[in-house]
Amino acid sequence: MTNDGLRLRLRLRHGIVIAAQGEGKQMTKHWTDKYAQLNPCSDAMDWLKTQPNARTAWATCQRGDWMLWLAGVLAGPPGSDSRPLVLAACDCAELSKPYWPTGDDRPANALSVARSWARNEGATLDDVRAAEEVAAAAVVEALGLRAAWGVAAAAAAGAAVVAWAGAARAARSAAAAEEVAAAGLAEWAWEEAREETLAKCADIVRRYYPRPPRMKARSK
């Protein structure tokens, strides 16, 4: 074989190796890819990619709204993983209790009925729906902004139950509880209160879901 022929053969061989390496890189998967298929918000996905694995991310996450969203999307039918989600949403909504209207028991009743359903203590979905509608009506009646947001938080927890025809809808309703729980404060305190509330909600979600929800639990 001539020197030119040998060089050509070596170049071809080198090219095949490079191509194979490039192909391997394209096929490399990140552990977050499976979560990307659920279409989370871009902020959540960007943060997730900074974490080494799902358990670490779940244990350190300070965004209860993201965690409730994921639990809702992956929740099963009523009687499986949906009930812990409702209880977590209720506990998050209750953080807004200081802003509930004085003497108005509608927010507390909405949470009580939702919890009764989630714990199999007698309440039906119709009961939850009715209580949620009453609590939602209180939002319109509330004069103060804080009161309105507090009632809305309780209504959101109830909505997490009645929206269970679609897990994604339920997740959005449940995640709304943290956002409204921190609302109604002075503008200068909003961001600090929001972060603190979301962190508290993250701890609440971890009480009901010590480990990240499994992908196989996703509703079809």
Residue 132 structure tokens: 């949620």
Question: 145 and 210 share a domain?
Answer: yes
What is the gyration radius of the CA atoms in the chain, in angstroms? Answer: 24
Q: What is the pTM of this model?
A: 0.74
Contact present, 103 and 219 (Cβ < 8 Å): no
Containing domain of residue 4, as a range? 1-30
* Average per-residue pLDDT for the chain: 74
| Side chain identity, residue 119 | R
- pLDDT confidence band for 195 (50 / 70 / 90): confident
Q: Find tokens 């103060």 and name the residue.
A: 144
Q: Is the pLDDT of residue 188 over 60?
A: no
Q: How many domains does the chain have?
A: 2
Question: 2 and 83 share a domain?
Answer: no
Question: 78 and 6 share a domain?
Answer: no
CA angle 77, 80, 86 (to 5 degrees): 85
pLDDT tens-digit readout, 135-185? 878 776 766 666 666 666 766 666 666 655 444 444 555 555 555 555 544
Question: 17 and 124 share a domain?
Answer: no
Q: Find tokens 């929206």 and name the residue.
A: 163
- pLDDT confidence band for 12 (50 / 70 / 90): very low
- First-to-last alpha carbon distance for the chain, in angstroms, is 62
